Amino acid sequence: MNAQAENRLALLLGVRLAELDALCTAALTASTAAEENTRLAELATAAARLSESAASAARGRRTLPARPPVRRRTRLERRVNGARRTADRIIARSADG
């Protein structure tokens, strides 16, 4: 890895660490329990991103962590949702008259 890539990697790790620090402070100074829970969830996500970035840095390559895979609905879920929409349409028509 060349010097420029190493500098970018160090900067990325620094940014991720600063994000953790800011989220930790936000969680500690939250005014409500709901806000604190939200900040703690964000903190956990940010910590996972830092962990992935640090692991890839340790392997000597710079790869940004990919977005988590989108969960696709199963065929059954699609069919159930279609049946619900159809039932809602029938109920709406019968209620109108």
Is 84 inside a domain boundary?
Answer: no
For the chain, how many helices (H) and strands (E)?
Answer: 3, 0
Residue whose pair of structure tokens reads 């930790």 in the numeric block: 24
Per-residue confidence (pLDDT) for residue 8, from 0 to 100: 82
Is 46 inside a domain boundary?
Answer: yes
Per-residue confidence (pLDDT) for residue 1, from 0 to 100: 58
Is 51 inside a domain boundary?
Answer: yes
Per-residue confidence (pLDDT) for residue 44, from 0 to 100: 92
Per-residue confidence (pLDDT) for residue 79, from 0 to 100: 92
3-state secondary structure (DSSP) of residue 69: coil
Per-residue confidence (pLDDT) for residue 65, from 0 to 100: 57
**pTM of this structure:** 0.55
Is 60 inside a domain boundary?
Answer: yes
Is 77 inside a domain boundary?
Answer: no
Q: What is the tally of structural domains in the chain?
A: 1
Q: Which residues of the chain have pLDDT under 50?
A: none
The rounded distance, in Å, linking the Cα atoms of 64 and 57 is 10
Is 93 inside a domain boundary?
Answer: no
Is 14 inside a domain boundary?
Answer: yes
Q: Could you tell me the residue range of the domain that residue 22 belongs to?
A: 3-70
Per-residue confidence (pLDDT) for residue 69, from 0 to 100: 72
